[in-house]
């Protein structure tokens, strides 16, 4: 039959196995209670104790299996489970409406999760799933219902579910489970992040398929393309068995590259770094052979709280990363709020074009106390490693000069207090606007380094909203105008005598590596899982061949023509 279902490749790999349909129990939830208010509250508390005990056990098992950073996810779940404001909301529903504990709990969790899910920011949308995970365990505890134990499934199993929560994913026994498929979810969901840590193939966001599949049905999960093949025929099974073996062989080969530097066949070295959103992500960068951090997105430090993080809180977060990287560079971007990222405790104006509005450096220069606090924390942490400071969303040299002035004032303040810091700390900019590309040579005279953010550079160069699905086909970094802007930035940086890296998604695109190397990019920064693959490609290249590729590519007229040229080049390696 070979029915193909498409979704999002959340964790790469290929698996062939039997379907296990993971569905919620259909126990009935009654609205009105026949018990007293006190009895329902007692049931609510008992259910919470059961859920907490389960999460404590999952946390301990995760600590052993995946380490502290992933175990901390469940520490956060336990904290949310014990949130008094949430408990008070459920208590009120029981007291005021004579609801059962189950009904009140379900309604409160649904309201909170819906509120998070309706926010524009992708990070908060994904946290709605975490809240539903906690609510489900609590609900099952109140109702005295068993949750399916995913650690005891049969061998050769592929889990198919509406969604998998982090606590579900943490329980998976890798000896028996080959992959998972979910109807909803995205790449940034905690379950997807954990799947990548487990190196478990996963395809998410496939739409409503649970009712179209049967238990024990054979399926193929192609988590490289983002496809699920139902009832494959013999020919397809043979083809994918060979593909799976090839993927496993390549995986073993890539492990060897983790400790090696990215040096081309003719002796040119480039740096290969990783992008992180929190100190928890450093382990993945190091284990994949990343010799530094090219982008530390500090906004997640701001988004995980209900008020601005203090100088000490920020200092601790930056210090941990600096120490763990042990002398390798750590490029830390100052707060990049606005556009598609918001803070619940900071009132941002409602704007028709938020990506062109009050965001990133514009907010920080208007609200200088935010930038001063962050600068002082970064300076203090620079004593413990090689920290570089990066300013986002720059369009004017005057913005760089203002930020430099504030940084110098912060340095003077710390000197007066006798606090040590790196006097030569580097201050650079994330180049993501055509305004900088056109004048790159002049900006480079004011900066210590550049780092290209290709996501926004593509968006602003092409005037295409990268979050608008209706015009998603127009958003393409291979567009010759975007590639020309990237080359202008690299040439301008080198004309000013500074290094330039790339921390946008394009840096981890295997097909883009020859182009970027040919243009003269000094450093590539990407998600940890892409690091070994980029190194492998770099080791097959020569500078002259890649420079000729760039010359030929920039003579072409469309993104499709360029992609075809690049693929032909790659196929000959």
- Catalytic residues, by residue number, are 190, 503
List alpha helices for 432-500, DSSP H: 434-438, 440-444, 454-462, 480-495
520 Cβ neighbours under 8 A, 6+ residues apart: 490, 491, 494
List alpha helices for 304-341, DSSP H: 311-324
Strands annotated E in 122-257: 157-161, 177-182, 202-204, 218-222, 227-230
Q: Beta partners for 274? A: 293, 526
For 570, phi then psi, to 5°, come to -60, -40
Sign of CA dihedral 396, 465, 491, 510: positive
What is the distance between the alpha carbons of residues 524 and 27, in angstroms, rounded to a whole number?
Answer: 52
What is the distance between the alpha carbons of residues 460 and 296, in angstroms, rounded to a whole number?
Answer: 22
For 339, phi then psi, to 5°, come to 65, -110
Q: How many CA atoms lie within 13 A of 538 on its CB side?
A: 29
What is the distance between the alpha carbons of residues 169 and 200, in angstroms, rounded to a whole number?
Answer: 10
Q: Is 12 helix (H, G, I), strand (E, B) or coil?
A: coil
Pairing of strands 293-297, 14-22: unpaired
What is the distance between the alpha carbons of residues 322 and 318, in angstroms, rounded to a whole number?
Answer: 6
What is the distance between the alpha carbons of residues 545 and 537, in angstroms, rounded to a whole number?
Answer: 13
- For the chain, give the longest Cα–Cα distance: 81
What is the distance between the alpha carbons of residues 393 and 287, in angstroms, rounded to a whole number?
Answer: 31
């Amino acid at each position: 039959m070979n029915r193909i279902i498409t979704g999002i490749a959340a964790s790469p790999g290929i698996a062939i196995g039997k379907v296990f349909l993971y569905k919620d129990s259909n126990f009935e939830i009654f609205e009105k209670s026949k018990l007293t208010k006190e009895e329902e509250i007692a049931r609510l508390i008992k259910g919470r104790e059961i859920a907490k005990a389960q999460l404590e056990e999952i946390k301990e098992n995760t600590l052993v299996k995946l380490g502290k950073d992933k175990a901390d996810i469940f520490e956060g779940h336990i904290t949310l489970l014990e949130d008094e404001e949430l408990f008070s909301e459920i208590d009120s529903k029981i007291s005021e409406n004579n609801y059962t504990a189950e009904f009140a709990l379900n309604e409160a969790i649904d309201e909170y999760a819906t509120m998070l899910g309706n926010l524009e920011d992708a990070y908060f949308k994904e946290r709605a799933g975490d809240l539903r995970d906690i609510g489900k365990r609590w609900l099952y505890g109140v109702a005295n219902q068993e949750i399916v134990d995913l650690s005891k499934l049969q061998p050769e199993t592929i889990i198919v579910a509406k969604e998998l929560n982090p606590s579900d994913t943490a329980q998976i026994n890798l000896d028996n489970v080959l992959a998972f498929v979910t109807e909803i979810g995205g790449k940034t969901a905690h379950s997807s992040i954990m799947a990548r840590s487990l190196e478990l193939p996963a395809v998410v966001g496939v739409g409503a398929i649970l009712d179209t599949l049967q238990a024990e049905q054979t399926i193929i999960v192609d988590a490289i393309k983002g496809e699920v093949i139902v009832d494959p025929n013999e020919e397809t099974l043979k083809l994918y068995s060979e593909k799976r073996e090839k993927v496993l062989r390549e995986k073993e080969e890539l492990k060897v590259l983790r400790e090696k530097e990215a040096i081309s066949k003719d002796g040119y070295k480039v740096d290969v770094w990783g992008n992180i959103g929190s100190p928890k992500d450093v382990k993945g960068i190091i284990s994949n052979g990343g010799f530094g951090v090219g982008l530390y997105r500090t906004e997640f430090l701001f988004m995980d709280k209900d008020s601005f993080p203090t100088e000490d809180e920020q200092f601790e977060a930056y210090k941990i990363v600096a120490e763990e990287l042990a002398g390798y560079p750590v490029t830390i971007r100052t707060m990049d709020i606005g556009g598609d990222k918001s803070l619940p405790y900071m009132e941002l104006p409602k704007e028709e074009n938020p990506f062109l509005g009050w965001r990133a450096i514009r907010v920080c220069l208007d609200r200088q106390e935010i930038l001063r606090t962050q600068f002082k924390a970064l300076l203090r942490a620079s004593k413990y490693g090689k920290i570089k400071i990066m300013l986002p969303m720059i369009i004017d040299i005057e913005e760089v000069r203002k930020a430099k002035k504030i940084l110098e004032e912060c340095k003077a303040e710390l000197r007066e207090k006798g606090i040590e810091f790196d006097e030569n700390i580097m201050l650079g900019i994330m180049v993501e606007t055509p305004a900088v590309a056109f004048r790159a040579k002049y900006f480079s005279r004011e900066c210590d380094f550049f780092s290209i953010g290709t996501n926004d550079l593509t968006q602003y160069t092409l005037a295409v909203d990268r979050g608008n699905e209706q015009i998603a086909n127009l958003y393409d970094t291979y567009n010759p105008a975007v590639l020309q802007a990237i080359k202008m930035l690299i040439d301008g940086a080198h004309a000013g005598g500074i290094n330039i890296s790339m921390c946008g998604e394009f840096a981890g695109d295997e097909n883009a590596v020859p182009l970027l190397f040919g243009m003269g990019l000094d450093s590539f920064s990407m998600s940890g899982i892409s690091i070994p693959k980029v190194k492998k490609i770099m080791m097959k290249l020569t500078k002259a061949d890649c420079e000729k590729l760039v010359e030929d590519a920039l003579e072409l007229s469309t993104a499709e023509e360029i992609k075809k040229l690049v693929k032909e080049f790659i196929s000959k390696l």
